[in-house]
Structure 1
Amino acid sequence: MTPSSADHAPHAQMSVEEFEQLARTAPETVTLELINGKLKVKPVPDGDHDEIIMWVAMQCMQQQQPELRLYRERGLRIGGYRNGRARPDGTLARAGRFAGDGEWSNPDRVLMTVEVTSHDHDTDHRDRTEKRDGYAAAGIPVYLLIDRDHDALVVYSEPENGRYRQRTTYEYGKAAALPHPVDITLDTEELKDYAR
């Protein structure tokens, strides 16, 4: 199968088809993503990272919204013309949203993506820039970045023209309001337990 020009981002390292084939054969110890046409290796999460994702899931369940689910590592088509592939740490959607999907889902009806920064050299560019812009380009309404380097939550919302128009930062311990369509407030006091 010959990749179409629509499958390539400027300066792409590989086509989407080539990436998907590589991702299918990668060992379980490696998570691969295609962001802005470039192959990215996502580090294996540490224990605090896992606890934070579970904390987000529990916060969503406690907010009287039992129809919401936080899916871990759900493959999403992101970026302009869906030419990227990402596995957010968390993807918030209504129960049943991904039933019948294959490995990679369209981001329609995804309410929020969640990323927790890793303590590696690439987290700044990957989580704070590339993935943020990919999620905005995909029209995902809310992007929640839990920034462990700064002990803060950064809430991005109102995607327009490939960028989020709103950005609000909350320090650990402050109540963090997630805007529509998520419409919940996170009690972030517990995050202090995972600060370094």
Structure 2
Amino acid sequence: MMVAVARTSQMSVEEFETIASTAPETVTLEFIDGRIGVKKAADGDRGTVVAWLTRRCLRTRPDLDLYYGRGLRVEADREGRARPDAVLAPEAHFAGQGEWADPGGALMVVEVTSYDSDTDRRDRHEKPTVYGQSGIPLYLLIDRDSCTVTVHSGPDRQIGGYRTVQIAKFGEKVALPEPMGIELDTEILKNYVR
């Protein structure tokens, strides 16, 4: 018989924000499911992937902005803090908001896997749950380990996560459903893996 164990938070969200505000620019901290995590700095290939995606999205949707490392208040109760590699939102959507913005209005969050030990837990399991709980319409995971692009859509705030998950191998075309409504040719992503 399996028994559910409630996880105790390592600290309050206020304590996390104090720590995160004093961290050097070379360190990116996140607070998900009551645990502090360190996000590895982007390598050149990871940054290039985000730049590639930026060009594709903004060429098709010039009414949008793509924000790099935008801090978001996530989870159902907004007690989590995440810094996706990119957030796509209407132009000037986050103007006037502080370091940790409400995700309402964000159309898509993007993560590009890094080559660190907790990528599996963080990007493939925790992030789809907290982004779905937050109501963000799309979560795009560019997974350099498995050479796949995963599109999560149809957020479900009740169960957390997304109702629809589409996976494509690098080299295939992948459709980003509404609110994006664009198609990506992922052939070039083969160049940005180890």
1:79 aligns with 2:75: yes
CA distance in 1, matches of 2:7, 2:65: 35
Alignment root-mean-square deviation, CA: 1.0
Corresponding position of 1:172: 170
Q: Which runs of 4+ in 1 moved over 3 A?
A: none
**Matched residues in 2 for 1:192 and 1:29: separation?**
27
**Structure 1: 5+ residue stretches without partners:** 1-8
Matched residue type, 2:115: H
User: Which runs of 5 or more structure 2 residues have no equivalent in the other structure?
Assistant: 1-5
In structure 2, what is the equivalent of residue 195 of structure 1? 193
1:48-107, CA deviations, whole angstroms, 9 ceiling, x for partnerless residues?
0000000110110222x1011110000000012001000000000011100110101000
Residue 54 of structure 1 is matched in structure 2 by 51
Aligned AA (1:134): V
Structure 1 match to 2:31? 34
- The answer as to 2:95 corresponding to 1:99 is yes
Distance 2:161 2:86 in 1: 20
Q: Percent identity, aligned pairs only? A: 53
Structure 1 position 10, deviation (Å): 3.9
Q: Number of matched residues? A: 187
Instruction: State the Cα deviation string for residues 9-65 of structure 1 (Å, max 9, x = none).
Output: 9411011100111111111111000010100000111110000000110110222x1
What are the equivalent positions in structure 2 for 1:1-196 lying under 5 Å apart? 10-63=7-60, 65-160=61-156, 161=158, 162-196=160-194
CA distance in 2, matches of 1:11, 1:131: 19
TM-score, reference length from structure 2: 0.94
Structure 2 distance, partners of 1:125, 1:13, is 17
TM-score normalized with structure 1 length = 0.93
